[in-house]
Amino acid sequence: MNATTVPSKATIQGSFRAASTTRTYLTYQKQFFLFCQEVLAVDPASAGPSACTDFFHHLYGQGKTARTVDSAKTALVAYFRDLKVDPNPARDVESKQYVVGLQKYNKKNNIDDEKKAHPLSVHELSCLVNSLSTSHLFVGAMYRFLLSASYLGCFRISEMLNLTWDDVAIKNDGDSQYVSIRLRWHKKASVQSDCQIYHLVDEKSFPCLRVCGLFGDYVNFVKRASPNLATKSFVFPAYTIEANGTPKLNCVSRAVPVAAAAKSQRQTTLDVFVSHVIVPTARSAQDAWNQWFTGDPHVGLFQPLRSFNRQMIRADRRKYSERLTLSLAFSKYVSFEMFEAAYAGHTSSYSNTLIEVRKRKREGRL
């Protein structure tokens, strides 16, 4: 190497940090400069441990997490080290005690946990899958397989969207069946060394996790839409919904997630995905029985009423409480025929059934 082309010592030392790390450090250092000048009225280069802890508390007051405050502390350590300030005020005992104390306080009061996005339960995933019943058949099948496979395999959405058809296949091993998914660590990775293969089997206890059946349904729709699909086409293609409600596919482009909205401080509830604005009207005891135990997407009931919770109901609370009262009587019988025989003469209309159930409840005869 020619002596004139040798990079400087500072350039080599600066390469130790990644570009994202350097960018993060500069962000917090600029905020520290402004805080010292506008709030504390001191020179940032001569700031002491007290100024550092004041800055950390200022960040925490803005809603930053303990992890973010710790990153800001690391940025200040690098700043004072570059200035050759010794002892380093960001490494002082006072600064360390504040950051560690903040982490312990948040852990004790579960503050940071409230801001985390918690994983979906199987029940919540089932509700989300059921809500796709009103979507176009192709779109619904695609998202059902996407949700089921990513849930079972613990895959990132970006990993799923980058799958091509030569990465996914259904296999048979004797009497068992599984979906084989190959994740490449890089888009130019070799198949032999730089990839990981996962085998997903049906979880038959939950319909939303029967991944083999969901994959088969989706493949059937894909073959009908594009019989001669290339193996390098994306499994989850980009699409646009035309005026007649039919999706127009672009198989050479992967599906692009909708731009995320501004982050909220708390996780959104399930009613954002499954919104039951109105509880359907029941005209008879038979209707009330069916709606309590089974869903009916045709009337906007994507899951049975017994799966509702108070946070998922935005209206008709009185009507839901009436169904809850009837459920006390329903739970005593294994079929509607048995219930109808026990309440003979009172099941022709919803109101008569409700009156009789309330009467027996008051008399202690339920």
CATH of the domain at 176: 1.10.443.10
Confidence of residue 189 (pLDDT cuts 50, 70, 90): very low
Total structural domains in the chain?
Answer: 3
Same domain flag for 45 and 92: yes
Quick one: pLDDT at residue 80?
93
Mean of the pLDDT values across residues 250-273?
A: 55
Same domain flag for 133 and 249: yes
Cβ atoms within 10 Å, residue 184: 17
- Give the least confident one: 94-108, 134-148, 257-271: 257-271
Mean of the pLDDT values across residues 333-342?
A: 87
Cβ atoms of residues 72 and 79 within 8 Å: no
Residue 262's contacts (CB-CB under 8 Å, 6 or more residues apart) are: none
Question: Which residues does residue 198 pair with via DSSP β-bridges, in sequence order?
Answer: 181
Of the three residues 115, 148, 171, the one that is the final residue of a domain is 115
- Tell whether the model's pLDDT for residue 23 goes beyond 80: yes
- Tell whether the model's pLDDT for residue 241 goes beyond 80: yes
> Considering the domain boundaries, does residue 259 fall inside one?
no
Of the three residues 56, 87, 115, the one that is the final residue of a domain is 115
Between CA 246 and CA 139 the distance in angstroms is 9
Quick one: pLDDT at residue 228?
74
Confidence of residue 277 (pLDDT cuts 50, 70, 90): low
Quick one: pLDDT at residue 91?
92
> Considering the domain boundaries, does residue 263 fall inside one?
no
> Considering the domain boundaries, does residue 270 fall inside one?
no
Confidence of residue 230 (pLDDT cuts 50, 70, 90): confident
> Considering the domain boundaries, does residue 139 fall inside one?
yes
> Considering the domain boundaries, does residue 79 fall inside one?
yes
Between CA 43 and CA 52 the distance in angstroms is 12
The boundaries of the domain holding residue 163 are: 122-254
Same domain flag for 34 and 148: no
Same domain flag for 132 and 250: yes
Of the three residues 196, 219, 254, the one that is the final residue of a domain is 254
- Give the least confident one: 8-12, 120-124, 265-269: 265-269
Average pLDDT, rounded, for the chain? 81
> Considering the domain boundaries, does residue 156 fall inside one?
yes
Angle (CA) 86-87-90 rounded to 5° is 115
Same domain flag for 142 and 246: yes
Same domain flag for 93 and 166: no
> Considering the domain boundaries, does residue 238 fall inside one?
yes
- Tell whether the model's pLDDT for residue 256 goes beyond 90: no
Same domain flag for 159 and 189: yes
